[in-house]
Amino acid sequence: MIFTVDIGNTTITMGLFTPEGELLFRGSIKTDKNKTPDQIAIDVLDMFRLKQSDVRSVTGAVISSVVPPMTSAMADAIRQLCGVRPMLMGPGVKTGMNILAEIHNQLGSDIVAYSVAALQKYPAPIIVIDMGTATTLSYLGKNTYEGCVIAPGVRIALEALSGRAAELPHISIEAPASIMGRSTIDAMRAGVVYGNAGMIDSLIQRMEEAAGPAATVVMTGGNAGPILKHCKRDIIFDENLIIDGLYYLYQKNQDRRRKRND
């Protein structure tokens, strides 16, 4: 079995795949960079027990991380539990994708993973939207990463609004009955939900004006749900895009390693 781990700023998402690519489970825990490898190992073991899977069945693992303090701790935890050395996303990992030179060393491993998955699963050109801690929109040509837009994530923007304005409350992210808010809470919800949906529609249009029409627009990420349904553009939702990409990258690099050893 192949264990995939995506360490984001807010959430760690895990997936367990069969060697043939069937997803057996997907789960997530809160990111806490202060945890020790032993504490992370307990979290991982609890996830396997929750999903009624055997951690000892893992024969390979891959980690994508945008939180450097957690990368080695997670790798140590996986080694303790599974007895395998996980592949770490970074320099030297074969992607099969042409990443433009100007951004190659700056591209987050999560962006690389979802781009590889999108190119594997959908017709190109593709615009991929990741609604996570940050909101990113990436334009993919045929096996080419052309560039991206990065904006503050939905929750970051909302927390900044509530934190900086003393009279504005902390609210949940959900659409009000009407865009014409008749209370402070409804007005804030309208701004957050419709504002982000409008931003995404506008950025898609501008990216297509710059690079050409996209055959596919796909969205992923934990904040996608409340926003996607209010976008005017037709967008596919794919919650497993990053962990699918990690599985593809693991297999691609294992195949490369086997060929070198033959």
Distance CA 39, CA 70 (A): 12
Task: Count the neighbouring beta carbons within 10 Å of the beta carbon of residue 189.
Answer: 22
Q: Is 234 a catalytic residue?
A: no
Upper half-sphere CA count for residue 175 (Cβ side, 13 Å): 16
Rounded to 5°, the CA angle 128-132-137 comes to 25
Give the three-class secondary structure for 174: coil
Find all residues with CB under 8 Å of 235, minimum gap 6, and list them. 129, 217, 218, 219, 228
The single residue of 110, 130, 238, 244 carrying the catalytic annotation is 110
- In this structure, what token pair is assigned to residue 208? 């297509």
What are the residue numbers of the active site?
Answer: 110
